[in-house]
Amino acid sequence: MLSPAVIDAHHHFWDPERLDYPWMTPAWESLRRAFGPADLQPELELESMTGSVLVQTLPSAEETAYLLLTARDAPWVRGVIGWVELAAPDVAADIEALRANPGGELLVGLRCCVHDEPDARWLLRDDVRRGLAAVEAAGLAFDLQVRTRELAAAYDTCVAFPGMRFVLDHLARPPIASGDLSEWGRALLPLAELPNVSAKISGLVTEADWLTWSIDDLRDPVELAVDAFGARRLMLASDWPVCLLAGSYSDVIDSVRYLLAELPTYDRDEIRGGTAVRIYRLGHRADDGASRQEGDA
């Protein structure tokens, strides 16, 4: 019997020599260098990962083209989450242009930085909804990069597109360092009730205190996510190399695995890879030890 896939469902590559990353503030100085496949592959192997999902960081078609090209030459990258301007007049054509790039067949989803928009209800704009309709028509998933402030609009959006696959990045960034998760939890629960919404257990260590966080700091958001979404709508992910601001790759992955250790094996397998394969419709590029039928699971 073949082993199930083990997927890191959210990581990045970047190269400041190639592109400008305005979000790299002085606090990110330690990460202001190129991070690519050669840096991540040893970490994946150490944690027995068999594949990954590469995610954009810039509102830039140029960056998405760079990620697709890079992923094409890294056979363990099973899919890429790119970017389009959702409010553009012809989003469908823009998506097809992305797919025409080398590696374009690896495009499995799109993402916009919703929490950076001044308007918390940006997702509900008519032009943005037209863009989301084009994403759905293209058969792509959409990653929701939101915080607590935008969760109500995210809920209304997911209700409006019941046939679309939405993925909540980083559990909507629970404010762990503040010590008060009540508002975040109340806002998250309605979204978790929607069957077309999945979520990534990722990005938590950088929402905690970077220097003093412990596994116990992650326990409440992880347990709430498991209770609210269930294993078949959760994915394990590293948010590498962003996570390096607060810990190593293994620190992040091992901490979450520890918190999930009491779940049944089937549930752990879903979170470790099954959900990502199913939701992102990840295909096979190389012998990763995963079942050939996993994409239909």
In whole angstroms, give the CA distance from residue 32 to residue 119.
29
Tell me the helix, strand and coil percentages in the chain, rounded to 5. Answer: 45, 15, 40
Q: Give the pair of three-digit tokens for residue 204.
A: 């938590």
Q: What is the DSSP letter of 288?
A: -
Residue 7's SS3 state is: strand
Q: Give the pair of three-digit tokens for residue 247.
A: 């810990």
In whole angstroms, give the CA distance from residue 115 to residue 170.
12
Q: Give the pair of three-digit tokens for residue 292.
A: 């050939």
Q: What pLDDT does residue 264 have?
A: 98
In whole angstroms, give the CA distance from residue 268 to residue 281.
19
Helices 215-229 + 182-192 axis angle, to 10: 30
In whole angstroms, give the CA distance from residue 219 to residue 223.
6
Q: CA–CA distance from 237 to each of 55, 133, 136, 234, 243 (Å)?
A: 11, 27, 24, 10, 10
Residue 246's SS3 state is: coil
Domain 7-296 CATH (choose: 3.20.20.140, 3.40.50.300, 3.40.50.1220, 3.90.740.10):
3.20.20.140
Q: Count Cβ atoms within 10 A of the Cβ of residue 116 and give its class: 0-12 exposed, 13-18 middle, 19 or more buried.
A: exposed
Q: What pLDDT does residue 284 have?
A: 74
Q: What pLDDT does residue 289 have?
A: 39
Q: Give the pair of three-digit tokens for residue 50.
A: 């068999």
Tokens 């028509």, residue? 137
Please give the chain's pLDDT, 297 residues, in tens.
Answer: 567 899 999 999 999 999 999 999 999 999 999 999 999 999 999 999 999 999 999 999 999 999 999 999 999 999 999 999 999 999 999 999 999 999 999 999 999 999 999 999 999 999 999 999 999 999 999 999 999 999 999 999 999 999 999 999 999 999 999 999 999 999 999 999 999 999 999 999 999 999 999 999 999 999 999 999 999 999 999 999 999 999 999 999 999 999 999 999 999 999 999 999 999 999 876 544 333 334 333
E-strand ranges in the chain read 7-11, 51-55, 77-82, 107-112, 141-144, 166-168, 197-201, 234-236
